[in-house]
Structure 1
Amino acid sequence: MKKTLCLLLVSLAGTIAPAQATEDTDLPVWAEEEITPLHERVTNWVDTTSRSIDGFFGTEKHLSVENESYLRIGPEIDWMEGDGVSTDLNLRYRLDMPTAEERLRLIIESDPEESQGTLAEQGSGRLANDQRDNRTSIAGLDWLESRDKRENWSNRFGAGIRLRLPLDPYVRFTSERLWSLGKSPWQLESHNRLSWFNNEGYSARTRWDLGRPLSQGRHLRFLTHIQWREEEDTLEYREIVELNHRLNKRSAIRYSAIALGESVSNPRMTDYYLQTRYRRDLHKNILFADIVPELHFPRESDYDPRWGMTLRLEMYFHRDLNRDFF
């Protein structure tokens, strides 16, 4: 695995020749020959493992139903002005067991929403692993209502444990809704979650996403995040304006302006960000590269700007190659 990741970094750094690129890949032949058998083996393992567990708890349909299990892995290199360069290896996974019951779903995932820390720790979201504890995997059961969120509130109840010692039981409730605003192209989506973890207490978060297409390849979004965690006992909020531009079938770019604040009784803004994220499908919808330059204006430094840059590769091991990972 390490050998393959090194080869991918070398490929990204400059061995990709435009003359070798085809309609669905930028990789030279030697890199494609390394990736293809690895991807097939690991994808088969992820798919077979999740369906086997699903078959044990569920029904005979486990072999034919759509399964959302995936594994995502890749290196990340980050530079921040004044802090130097850091590297990390991102690993995210989700095992989905859809046939356990008609509405009861067994889920094992590595990165629940509750593990991502405060909004200040998350910052602009530039880093995949920023301030996150790698021991945050959870296993639990989710009960889903069979409702279309475009017509009614769609609710989900979940309970389980965080997989670390001492074991940390949790309970959470999630509710979602999507509205089309009249006959206009604007849509408003709401995602809300109330959680309780035995070792951390209660938390509540809500996200409101207002957006509309501007053209066939451009989409405008206004996002509001509000979060409260019992550990900090501070209300945090984040406002984001995004312009997403799909350059072509395999490339996209996002321009973002982000503001973070906290408190209700004495509200104040703590951080501002200007960010651009370029994403490229390097190989057949399984290997992606991100280039993320950013300008950060932190309150603690009197809003003096600091430059940051992140380079990241992500390989997805997922049976559905038609899934849009942009």
Structure 2
Amino acid sequence: MRQLFALACLGTLTLLAVQANAEEEDSDLPDWAEEQVEPFRANVGNWVDNTSRNIDSFFGGEHYDNSVNNESYLRLGQEIDWMEGDGVGGDVSVRYRIDLPTTEERLRLVIESDPEETQGTLADQGSGRLYNDQRNRRNSTFGLDWLESRDKRENWSNRIGAGVRLRLPLDPYVRFTSERLWDIGDGPWQLESFNRLSWFNNEGYSARTEWDIGRPLSENRHLRFISTVQWREEEDTLEYSEIAELNQRLNKRSALRYSVIALGESVSNPRMTNYYLQTRYRRDIHKGILFADVIPELHFQREVSYDPRWAMTLRLEMYFQREINRDYFGF
């Protein structure tokens, strides 16, 4: 079974890479499918944008500015997960963010699903594979964020937010986020720091710090080393991860990410819980709105005496925004 899975992964990635190097157009869809998708995407994208702007104008009043960039989106996803020994699981997901830059430039209302604090352990977040029983569909939040007008290249850029999680009983929260970006010397290396402290009434405190150092290797390749430490009062366990990844943009519509990931936990008795190798192929199937991911992984977990276990995620996502975003991996 493992050998067949490995051959299937290799064959899939090889075929996708060959396709990625072929002559590029804007879509892999046949004409009849494109004729169905495009009007639907445009209508829903405009509805998302217009709805968020109408809400923004209601709260903003005389301060409302229609020219301000709006980062609202709706994302629909379908994925199939498989891990050796655990079987196959599937899920349909809906994620959204309603961005309301009201009142003044630095004060804005935000409505979003799945805040990062509710997305599970570092093991869940690191692989990008959240199983059905780890998802909570009642994690939407409504809050007000205050942003400092500082460039994180020159000073610490801070954000303070407060609001409620939209479920019964209502769950108030407070969040503080601080970011910084440094250029290291005169070379291409950059160091970025992301830090967050949160409090949710029903789950207590959580803290996260992430340090990301990286550099471009060429026009289409980028190397990163990411160290993350996370603590959540609900779990009362300190988690940490180390990631080395190489991002490679194959062309304007395809990208690959190769990752080596190590996960650990605890302070008094530190131990590594999982090592794994991951490859992620991402393809823009249709004009920056429809994407497909193929994510094979090989895990070495402590709970099974570090015996190798294969895993695979297949994912299809559709984004609805007025402005199309073609950023695959953020490099």
TM-score (structure 1 length as normaliser): 0.91
Is 1:64 equivalent to 2:67 in the alignment? yes
Match of 1:274 in 2: 277
For 1:227, the equivalent position in structure 2 comes to 230
1:160 partner amino acid: G
1:72 aligned counterpart, secondary structure: strand
Question: Which of 170, 180, 185 does residue 182 from structure 1 map onto?
Answer: 185
Q: What amino acid is the match of 1:93?
A: Y
1: CA distance, partners of 2:63 / 2:131? 37
Letter in 2 for 1:33: E
CA distance in 1, matches of 2:24, 2:69: 30
Match of 2:219 among 200, 216, 221: 216
Query: What is aligned with 1:171?
Result: 174
Using the aligned pairs only, state the percent identity.
Answer: 76
Give the match for residue 196 of structure 2: 193
Which deviates more from structure 2 when the two are superposed, residues 235-244 or residues 100-109?
Answer: 100-109
Conserved in 2, the CA contact under 8 Å of 1:74 and 1:315?
yes
Q: What is the aligned counterpart of 2:29 among 19, 27, 30?
A: 27
Other structure's SS at 2:117 match:
helix
Question: Which segments of 5 or more consecutive residues in structure 1 lack a partner in the other structure?
Answer: 1-13
Q: 2:125 aligns with which of 97, 122, 126?
A: 122
Paired letter, 1:233: D
Aligned-residue offset at 1:78: 1.3
Aligned to 1:8: none
Tell me by how many angstroms 1:79 deviates: 1.4
Q: 2:261 aligns with which of 255, 258, 270?
A: 258
Compare 314-323 and 254-263 and name the one that shifted more.
314-323
CA deviation after TM superposition for structure 1 residue 120, in Å? 3.4
**Corresponding residue for 1:152?**
155
Q: Select 2:90's aligned residue among 87, 91, 101.
A: 87
Q: Is the 8 A contact 1:127 1:310 kept in 2?
A: no
Shift of 1:169: 0.2
**SS of residue matched to 1:42:** helix
Determine which of 48, 52, 55 is the counterpart of 2:54.
52
Specify the SS of the correspondent of 2:104.
coil
Deviates more, 1:274-283 or 1:129-138: 129-138
Task: State the match for 1:161 in structure 2.
Answer: 164
Two-structure CA RMSD over aligned residues (Å): 2.0
Q: Report Cα offsets for 1:271-296 as digits up to 9, x if no partner.
A: 11100000001111111100000111
Structure 2 counterpart of 1:291, which letter? Answer: V
CA offset at residue 263 of structure 1? 1.2
Aligned length: 310
The change in CA–CA distance for 1:218 and 1:268 in structure 2 (over 3 A counts) is: same
How far apart, CA to CA, are the structure 2 residues paired with 1:144 and 1:60? 17
TM superposition score normalised by structure 2? 0.89
- Aligned to 2:144, the other structure's residue is in SS state strand
Question: Which residue identity is paired with 1:280?
Answer: R
Question: One-letter code of the match for 2:84?
Answer: E
- What is the aligned counterpart of 1:142 among 145, 169, 173? 145
Cα deviations by residue, 1:60-83 (Å, 9 ceiling, x for unpaired)? 643221100001112101111122
Q: Secondary structure at the match of 1:62?
A: coil
Partner of 2:127: helix, strand, or coil?
coil
